[in-house]
Structure 1
Amino acid sequence: MFSMIFKDTKSSVGQLISNNLHTMVQSAILGFPRIGPNRELKKTTEAYWKGKVSVEELFKVGKELRAANWKLQKEAGVDIIPSNDFSFYDQVLDLSLLFNAIPERYAKYNLAPIDTFFAMGRGLQKSATETSAAIDVTALEMVKWFDSNYHYVRPTFSHSTEFKLNGQKPVDEFLEAKELGIQTRPVLLGPVSYLFLGKADKDSLDLEPLSLLEKLLPVYAEVLSKLKQAGATEVQLDEPTLVLDLPQEAQQAIKKAYQFFASKASSLPEITLASYFGTVVPNLNALKGLPVAALHFDFVRAPEQFDDVVSIVGDKQKLSVGIIDGRNIWKNNFAKSSEFVKKAIEKLGADRVIVATSSSLLHTPVDLENESKLNPVIKDWFAFATQKVKEVVIVSKNVSGKNVSAELEANAKSVAARAASDITNNPAVKKRVAAIDAKMAQRAAPFDERLIEQQKSLKLPLFPTTTIGSFPQTRDIRINRNKFAKGTISAEEYEKFINAEIETVIRFQEEIGLDVLVHGEPERNDMVQYFGEQLNGYTFTVNGWVQSYGSRYVRPPIIVGDLSRPKPMSVKESVYAQSITTKPVKGMLTGPVTCLRWSFPRDDVEQKTQAYQLALALRDEVNDLEAAGITVIQVDEPAIREGLPLRAGAERDDYVFWAADSFRVATSGVRNSTQIHSHFCYSDLDPNHIKALDADVVSIEYSKKDDPNYIAEFKDYPNHIGLGLFDIHSPRVPSKEEMIHKIETILKDYPASKFWVNPDCGLKTRDWAETKLSLTNMVDAAKYFREQYKK
């Protein structure tokens, strides 16, 4: 039936295309994963940081990965292939280096550009040598990229920022592709989004980043001009901030920026302006009449914007239709997508329509063919980045009247099989979710009453110290986990090994004087995957890695059906840890929203339904931990801000309710004396959203924050809070004195009676030497303040 789509001459669309069979609708990719099919980028980058490979070897691997990505897309038949979508750490940080937005604290060391780049991303600490001075600098702030689990390094500006070209990375990578015989479309974050997503440095807090636009635009134009001289005919400028609630000055800045580029059009490539992750309709006036060659919109996330955005496409402009999902792994519905693209062709003509991914494919794993252990039935439902490249080409061929009937029929069969599968449906889970009531989401008593019982039970000192949960995942841990997974050691041998690791962590924490301990999580591969592997309704990949930040990659589990817990998941390890110490040991769980957001969720069921299913599974686990004698239970929700809809309105209000409600469903079935903790990191957090969770203690990433108003926002937070004192993503070890200074700053706005002392996040990625020094300094800082408050 699908091969007949364009044979209906009564259809205006069919007639239009039959009259233009010589016109092929172009296909485009907005960006491709840079990590490599086997995490080559991670391995080489981390080896460089450790001094095990040279900078030449690092650059060589980067060049090989770029070439492989370009060739893959070219061989698939993609018309518009991106370049400059590669980065050794973060594409936004690339621009800060390129445009010389380098704070003086990094520039003063006169490091090689790549080392300055890494110092800005992850900090740097080196002792003095005979030939060089000591280096000690913290990383720039890292925050979520819109509502994704990718993190970017926030551009940081001051009154002394002097924009100028610092190298020519986009040009170099365009020329690399050109030497391979591949014409690419270089991609850069647009100037308004770059500034809007940045912030003023701590010495220039009165600076409004958008005020720097006039200084920045000539430098943007300079690099674009160099690209044209190198042979680039078009560039992609991403302005994803167009899906936010932009203030009027930001909307005006969009017009100003692109009118500036138009004034230099003869020396610049044609511009495709791209937005993604939502609707641009509230900012439509900023886009209307913009002098650009093409506009790209995300119709996966916001198909409802179609009529509005088509109405502003100029007579000669092209429309890039983002219809292949760049954020999830579900196979595209070719018939449905083709019908959508045909609407655009009907409005504009085939020569003015481009079929594209909704966003960069950075957010998806590299290649489904690397998955040999997936259930073949389920595997047939998925498409990773490599497969999505092919999907873009197939849809573009289909709407161009090319014969792809075999692909269409196979696709329709796969889509139908998933919808009808027993794997996706569990009536018992649906019934239990339907029975959730308001009482299930409310603790038995308010916080003040709970606190009295908790103080009696836990007997904690002022400035109680704890960590967020994980301790270093050593090579020995990974080797033994792999042996157990392969069956080369028995369950008994593996449990003995894990218990020994737990005891090592417990004894260390006792030795340095931590107050509330953790078991260190040696048995856990990932904070979501570990629990997902024990829940019905999930499936997992072997090599489905996605970049979260820098060299930190994750393998998001995939929710394929209704979710439930068949048995306890973490009780055994928590009980063992508590049995070998008299200090309280936290039970450690991942919250329902984070389990949802850090997975690839279903696209056929509302996300809030999936969150409540997870909440019920976690409620059972929380209650089992309490019954087993665990009196402090931490349910982490670092992704709760990530899930917040990007715009104010009914959708956001609904999310704020169900996200907090699902957390409370998971945690409210315990006694008043059981202390519930939660943790949040690397987002622009709203105290009101955190307050709605009603956790007894929350810990929040703070070490990279340099805005004094940030602490004040939490001044009236009613429960207890810990603001992280050191950055766990950096190898840098802060001194006791540095932490004392941080605590002094916090206590100017936050009461000592409510303040906990902890790191920013878990210590999984650090080594033991750094961990021991940092935690010892942290505990010593807490002890210092206990003495001060005795006086």
Structure 2
Amino acid sequence: MKKLLPTSTAGSLPKPAWLAQPETLWSPWKLQGEELLEGKQDALLLSLQEQLHAGIDIVSDGEQTRQHFVTTFIEHLSGVDFARREVIKIRNRYDASVPTVVGAVSRPRPVFVDDARFLRQQTTQPIKWALPGPMTMIDTLYDSHYRSREKLAWEFAKILNQEARELEAAGVDIIQFDEPAFNVFFNEVNDWGVAALERAIEGLKCETAVHICYGYGIKANTEWKKTLGSEWRQYEEAFPKLQKSSIDIVSLECHNSRVPMDLIELIRGKKVMVGAIDVASSTIETPEEVADTLRKALQFVDADKLYPSTNCGMAPLARGVARGKLNALSAGSDMVRRELLNQS
């Protein structure tokens, strides 16, 4: 029997201090060459162990082998010049110096497939792998070649599809596309964003997910959230289109956010990864707080379609904090799982 309320994380987990500077985004590697390759695999094993120890059901690599959820993928593509940088506004929120698209983009070789294969060899649990979504990728670049956000997104969707198919062949059970940009560019989401995402998942037989959040707990994001008022209704814009799409799972932020829970009703029929852990705070939730978020969500999503998760990645948090949060996620989900089984 398939487990009720299977837990997972939305993405990254903190890296060990011997691999990269702790509690920092874009943290440079402390090792190089063969040592770095080995170090990344060791960190992946540690991250897997911590997830299994906490009782996480759908495990991931904790994004231990990548510096950043978007750029690490882009670094492996042709057509992008990392030496030529321009300052652009990312997600209409903060300025960043980004690489430039200088020619046709392509994927000369697989990016994460070896890592996924390595993870698959270590566990019999279902595994989930995260990739950046097409719209979030174009939002992290300066494009001097296509000069069209839509054109570039379609090119990236094709490339992501190649990678996703190989990840599936390597034994990945769920492929998740991270699309925080879906919370910002509403017209584009509806005009071509969801369609580009559908292109990225074309032909996949494994389950597919889209993760849409309000970002890591970095200053630019917390400042932006202060401007959003008492109700965060951004999901209202993309959900109707996603509900009609062929994506299997929608991953969203719920705990400690001002997202009205009833918006989940708009994706009725989809599986929902409900973020029950706040990643923008170092306060460790109690199992009861996690359970409370899940109970509220159960008003709008059937129990067999609810997947308890974190709001977003936990890379910038201390390892002990992330560990505590994973334990709370498991314990809180377990409370609700028992309640549901007692009712049936």
Provide TM-score, normalisation by structure 1.
Answer: 0.38
Q: Tell me, in whole angstroms, the C-alpha distance in 2 between the residues paired with 1:501 and 1:553.
A: 31
1:640 maps onto 2:190 in alignment:
no
CA contact (8 A) 2:270 2:305 kept: yes
Cα offset for 1:705? Answer: 3.1
1:713 is the counterpart of 2:251: no
1:524 to 2:66 alignment: yes
SS of 2:143's partner is: coil
Equivalent residue number for residue 193 of structure 2? 659
Which structure carries more helix by proportion?
1
CA distance in 1, matches of 2:30, 2:338: 48
Residues 758-777 of structure 1 show CA distances to partners (whole Å, capped at 9, x for unaligned) of: 01001111111110111101
Change (3 A) 1:748 1:499: same
Alignment-mate amino acid for residue 754 of structure 1: K
Give the structure 1 partner of residue 223 of structure 2. Answer: none
Say yes or no: does 1:568 pair with 2:110.
yes
- What is the aligned partner in structure 1 of residue 161 from structure 2? 619
Query: 1:726 aligned to 2:277?
Result: yes
Alignment match of 2:203 (pick from 655, 661, 669): 669
Contact 2:104/2:145, CA 8 A, preserved across alignment: no
Pairing 1:284-683 to 2, within 5 Å after superposition: 460-478=2-20, 482-483=29-30, 489-490=32-33, 492-540=34-82, 555-602=97-144, 605-645=147-187, 656-671=190-205, 674-682=206-214
- Identical positions, percent: 24
Q: Where in structure 2 are the equivalents of 1:62-211 lying within 5 Å?
A: none
1:698 offset after TM fit, Å? 1.4
C-alpha separation between the residues in 2 aligned to 1:629 and 1:566? 22
Distance in 1, matches of 2:257 and 2:124, equals: 35
Give the CA RMSD over aligned residues. Answer: 2.5
Distance 1:543 1:600 in 2: 8
Seen in structure 2, the aligned counterparts of structure 1 residues 776 and 555 have a Cα distance that, compared at 3 Å, is farther
Is the 8 Å Cα contact of residues 41 and 65 (structure 2) preserved in structure 1?
Answer: no
Partner of 2:220: none
Judged with a 3 Å threshold, the aligned counterparts in structure 2 of structure 1 residues 508 and 561 are, in CA distance, closer, same or farther, namely same
Where 2:192 maps in the other structure, the secondary structure is: helix
The match for 1:741 is 292
Q: Quick one: structure 1 residues 668 and 475, their matched pair in 2 at CA, closer, same or farther if it must change by over 3 Å?
A: same
CA deviation after TM superposition for structure 1 residue 482, in Å: 3.5
Residue 321 of structure 2 corresponds to residue 789 of structure 1:
no
CA contact (8 A) 1:467 1:759 kept: yes
Do 2:85 and 2:100's aligned partners in 1 also have CA atoms closer than 8 Å? Answer: no
**1:737 to 1:695, Cα distance in 2 relative to 1, 3 A:** same
Secondary structure, in 3 states, of the residue corresponding to 1:639? helix
* Candidates 218, 235, 242, aligned match of 1:690: 242
Alpha-carbon contact 2:15-2:319 (below 8 Å) kept: no
How many angstroms apart in 1 are the aligned matches of 2:294 and 2:146?
47
Cα pair 1:502 1:519 within 8 Å, conserved = yes
Contact 2:210–2:250 at 8 Å: present in 1 too?
yes
**Residue aligning to 1:346:** none
2:329 to 774, 778, 782: 778
Displacement, 1:726?
Answer: 2.0
Distance 2:2 2:60 in 1: 15
Q: Secondary structure at the match of 1:477?
A: coil
Deviation at 1:471, TM superposition (A): 0.6
Provide the C-alpha distance between the structure 1 equivalents of 2:19 and 2:88, rounded to a whole number of angstroms.
22
Query: What is the distance in 1 between the residues matched to 2:95 and 2:52?
Result: 32
**Alignment partner, residue 227 of structure 2:** none
- Could you say if the C-alpha distance between residues 669 and 471 of structure 1 is closer, same or farther in structure 2, counting changes exceeding 3 Å? same
Contact 2:272 2:301 in 1 (8 A): no
Alignment CA distance shift 1:513-1:570 (3 Å): same
Give the aligned residue type for 1:757. Answer: P
Measured against aligned partners, the alpha-carbon deviations of 1:431-486 in whole angstroms (never above 9, x if no partner) come to xxxxxxxxxxxxxxxxxxxxxxxxxxxx64111100012111344222695455xx
- Deviations, residues 601-620 of structure 1 (Å, cap 9, x unaligned): 34752211101100111110
Q: What 5-or-longer segments of structure 2 have no aligned partner?
A: 22-26, 215-231
* Between structures 1 and 2, the one with greater strand share: 2
Residues of 2 paired with 1:769 and 1:510: CA distance?
A: 15
Find the aligned partners of 2:48 and 2:326 in 1 and give their Cα distance: 13
Q: Which amino acid aligns with 1:704?
A: N
Q: What TM-score, normalized to structure 2?
A: 0.84
Change (3 A) 1:662 1:772: same
Report the secondary structure of 1:470's partner residue. coil
The 8 Å contact of residues 5 and 333 in structure 2, kept in 1 or not, is answered as yes
Count of aligned positions: 314
Offset, 1:711: 2.1
Distance 2:321 2:95 in 1: 21
Structure 2 Cα separation of the partners of residues 526 and 544 of structure 1: 18
Determine the C-alpha separation between the residues in 2 that align with 1:593 and 1:744. 32
Does structure 1 residue 703 correspond to structure 2 residue 255? yes
1:67-126 deviations in whole A, cap 9, x for unaligned? xxxxxxxxxxxxxxxxxxxxxxxxxxxxxxxxxxxxxxxxxxxxxxxxxxxxxxxxxxxx
Q: For residues 719 and 527 of structure 1, what CA distance do their matches in structure 2 show?
A: 25
Name the CA distance, whole Å, in 1 between partners of 2:296 and 2:154.
39
- Say if 2:183 and 2:213, in contact at 8 Å, map to a contact too: no
